[in-house]
Amino acid sequence: MTVSATPMNLTRAAHVGISVSDLDASIAFYTALTGREPVAEGTMSSVPFGKAQGLSAAKLRYATINLDGLGIDLIQLQEPVGERTNGKANRPGSMHLCFRVDDFDAVYQRMGEAGYDFLGDDYTFIAGEVTPDEALGTRVAYFNDPDGTNLEIIQPKGGFAS
């Protein structure tokens, strides 16, 4: 793919879409994680919408959970059903959704007590491993949703933007 270097100025996110295998289980997971109920739930069956996504058609169920400034669209494609990606951080094309927290220790502890399985130990950015220096002291931990979507909690330090 060759893309022009001309800026498109896309600077505001509206939502992130996450394909799920079981919409009801994912609604329960993300509702527990965010403390927010879906603001919309529904179904769609459309050949043009499917073709817009590079599919022959799309029959799906969906739910939207709004965060502050970003929506999470949970989408269960019923036709055509796809294969699970088992996303890993080192696989090109994989992505993660990051949740900013104000008190990392409290959130990390609550999540552990609630049964969230972290992929590894929490990590604090240290000198010699990360640049810029504004990132030093930033804390992160990674976990997955029921379908293996990579998720992260972060407490940035200094001028580091997450």
pLDDT tens profile 57-94: 889 999 999 999 999 999 999 999 888 877 777 877 78
What CATH number labels 96-162?
3.30.720.110
**Claim: this prediction has a pTM higher than 0.85:** yes
The answer to whether residues 153 and 108 touch, using CB atoms and an 8 Å cutoff, is yes
Q: How far apart are CA 77 and CA 62, in angstroms?
A: 8
Domain ranges (residues) in the chain: 14-80, 96-162
Q: How far apart are CA 123 and CA 8, in angstroms?
A: 35
CATH topology of domain 14-80: 2,3-Dihydroxybiphenyl 1,2-Dioxygenase; domain 1 (3.10.180)
